[in-house]
Amino acid sequence: MKLLVKNIRTLAGIEHAPKLRLQGKEMGIVNTIDDAWLLVEDGRFAAFGAVADGMPALDDTVEVVDAEGGMVLPSWCDSHTHIVFAGSREREFVDKINGLSYEEIARRGGGILNSADLLHNTSEDELFRQAMQRLDEVIRKGTGCIEIKSGYGLSLEDELKMLRVIKRMKEASPAKIMSTFLGAHAVARGMPQEQYVQLIIDEMIPEVGRQRLADFVDVFCDRGFFTPEETGRILEAAAAWGMRPKIHADELASSGGVVVGVKHGALSVDHLESMTEETIETLRGSETMPTALPGTSFFLNMPNAKARQIIDAGLGVAVASDYNPGSTPSGDMKFVMSLACIKLRLLPNEAFNAATINGAYAMGQSKDYGSIAKGKVANFYITKPIPSLAFIPYAYTTPIVNKVVLGGKLQSM
């Protein structure tokens, strides 16, 4: 199966010598070819080049897709979402406008516990239906590789239910999906904290491990949720089952999440709204990708992660949506790119790399996703005619996606 994309005004995000992640000044570079073509074979990128240098010969085996003068870009890689949830929480949205903070809502038994109650009373099929609808929406917006967490179950049965839904989504969707066990998202209603931590370690992790339902493990390591000490114990238990950490760290307070994450070889530490500048040094020399979620800062009116300083210190940054019902009810990665530029002060090229190749790295998938390189999985989208890459974050509410190709197959929109 071959697919040739012609009439590409600019092919961007290409790599001749692919890197697993980009750091520091490298993040400012996006390689492009103008007036380009792109060839896909058996679901993977096979070749690309400038029309002026000659195009591949066409025969009946080649399906031709007309880019109609649009740009071609690698799909967004959204490395942090919670899109399996039941219903919505706009009542809390109003509470927040009326002055309650995210933490106050959580302390009153709202927030995550609210979603856990709703999820408990929702069937697995209905959860799957709702989550697939959200996934389809973000695919149409250009996302092609996405991580999805559990964490609204908070009991063995309901956490397994969520993870089974994610497994079904992996099988049903053309997007690449990675799954994360986030039993330690909040303490289950009415249970002492230590008893719940022990339940995660003794029962949930072994069962999730036995059933191979999660690629990664996550903990909401923050003030009012789980301590670094509890986080360390949970990460150790999960390591025995091969689940690498990707953790919620330093969102509400500089609470030691980044330090414990790096210590346990986390693939990423995410949020970082309250991370101090001194903590940046903890990340140096590690394999951990600091991941900013600027949609959360926007929606909760919180400080922004110090992504600019992290890049200026020579390190890499990823950005992700955090799509969830409480703190970020949106998975729009184009808007995340805008926020990365406007609020985190990333240049458009840096924001683009943060939302593609570095996002793929934060899911352990940058060997196969995150850029247009020979041999990588052909997940990309074609834009409407737009003047430049910087136009994407600049025109922050203008839809740009025209066609989506996942695994080398043109998707119906």
**Residue numbers at the binding site for ligand NIG (CB under 6 A):** 111-112, 115, 220, 248, 251, 296, 322, 324-327
Cα–Cα distance for residue pair 113/352, rounded to 1 Å: 34
Entry field: residues in the chain: 413
Find residue 102's DSSP bridge partners.
none
The one of ligand NIG, Fe ion, none whose footprint includes residue 251, by CB under 5 to 8 A per kind, is ligand NIG
The one of ligand NIG, Fe ion, none whose footprint includes residue 158, by CB under 5 to 8 A per kind, is none
Least separation in angstroms between residue 90's CB and Fe ion is 18
The one of ligand NIG, Fe ion, none whose footprint includes residue 27, by CB under 5 to 8 A per kind, is none
Least separation in angstroms between residue 270's CB and ligand NIG is 7
Least separation in angstroms between residue 276's CB and ligand NIG is 19
CB atoms within 10 A of CB 60: 5
Cα–Cα distance for residue pair 220/130, rounded to 1 Å: 24
The one of Fe ion, ligand NIG, none whose footprint includes residue 230, by CB under 5 to 8 A per kind, is none
Least separation in angstroms between residue 279's CB and ligand NIG is 18
Secondary structure (H, E, C), 239-263 = HCCCCEEEEEECCCCCCCHHHHHHH
> With respect to Fe ion, which residue has the nearer C-beta, 220 or 381?
220
Least separation in angstroms between residue 325's CB and ligand NIG is 5
CB atoms within 10 A of CB 95: 17
Q: In Å, how far are 150, 170, 181, 194 from 156, measured between CA atoms?
A: 11, 21, 11, 16
Least separation in angstroms between residue 379's CB and ligand NIG is 25
> With respect to ligand NIG, which residue has the nearer C-beta, 71 or 269?
269
Residue closest to 403 by CA, chosen among 178, 6, 78, 66: 66
The one of Fe ion, ligand NIG, none whose footprint includes residue 325, by CB under 5 to 8 A per kind, is ligand NIG
Find the residue with minimal CB distance to Fe ion. 322
Contact footprint for Fe ion (CB under 5 A): 322
Cα–Cα distance for residue pair 348/354, rounded to 1 Å: 10
Q: How far is C-alpha 365 from the geometric centre of its chain's CA atoms?
A: 11
> With respect to ligand NIG, which residue has the nearer C-beta, 326 or 370?
326
Residue closest to 215 by CA, chosen among 185, 245, 236: 245
The one of Fe ion, ligand NIG, none whose footprint includes residue 294, by CB under 5 to 8 A per kind, is none
The one of ligand NIG, Fe ion, none whose footprint includes residue 273, by CB under 5 to 8 A per kind, is none
Pair of tokens at residue 103: 């933490």
Least separation in angstroms between residue 222's CB and ligand NIG is 7
The one of Fe ion, ligand NIG, none whose footprint includes residue 257, by CB under 5 to 8 A per kind, is none
> With respect to ligand NIG, which residue has the nearer C-beta, 186 or 406?
186
The one of Fe ion, ligand NIG, none whose footprint includes residue 402, by CB under 5 to 8 A per kind, is none
Least separation in angstroms between residue 326's CB and ligand NIG is 2
Find the residue with minimal CB distance to ligand NIG. 326
> With respect to ligand NIG, which residue has the nearer C-beta, 40 or 293?
293
Angle at 222 between CA 122 and CA 315, to 5 degrees: 110
The one of ligand NIG, Fe ion, none whose footprint includes residue 112, by CB under 5 to 8 A per kind, is ligand NIG
Answer yes or no: are the C-beta atoms of 29 and 349 closer than 8 Å.
yes
Least separation in angstroms between residue 390's CB and ligand NIG is 28
Residue 409's H or E segment, with its range, is strand 409-410
> With respect to ligand NIG, which residue has the nearer C-beta, 252 or 404?
252
Provide long-range contacts, Cβ within 8 A and 24+ apart, for 57-64.
58/4, 61/1, 61/2, 62/2, 62/3, 62/4, 63/1, 63/2, 63/3, 63/4, 63/410, 64/3, 64/4, 64/5, 64/6
The four Cα atoms 179, 180, 183, 186 give a dihedral, to 10 degrees, of -110
> With respect to ligand NIG, which residue has the nearer C-beta, 142 or 295?
295
Find residue 82's DSSP bridge partners.
none
Cα–Cα distance for residue pair 224/374, rounded to 1 Å: 46
> With respect to ligand NIG, which residue has the nearer C-beta, 52 or 94?
94
Least separation in angstroms between residue 166's CB and ligand NIG is 16
> With respect to Fe ion, which residue has the nearer C-beta, 249 or 404?
249
- Backbone phi, then psi, for 60, in 5-degree steps? -65, -15
Parallel, antiparallel or unpaired: strands 401-406 and 380-383: antiparallel
> With respect to ligand NIG, which residue has the nearer C-beta, 79 or 349?
79
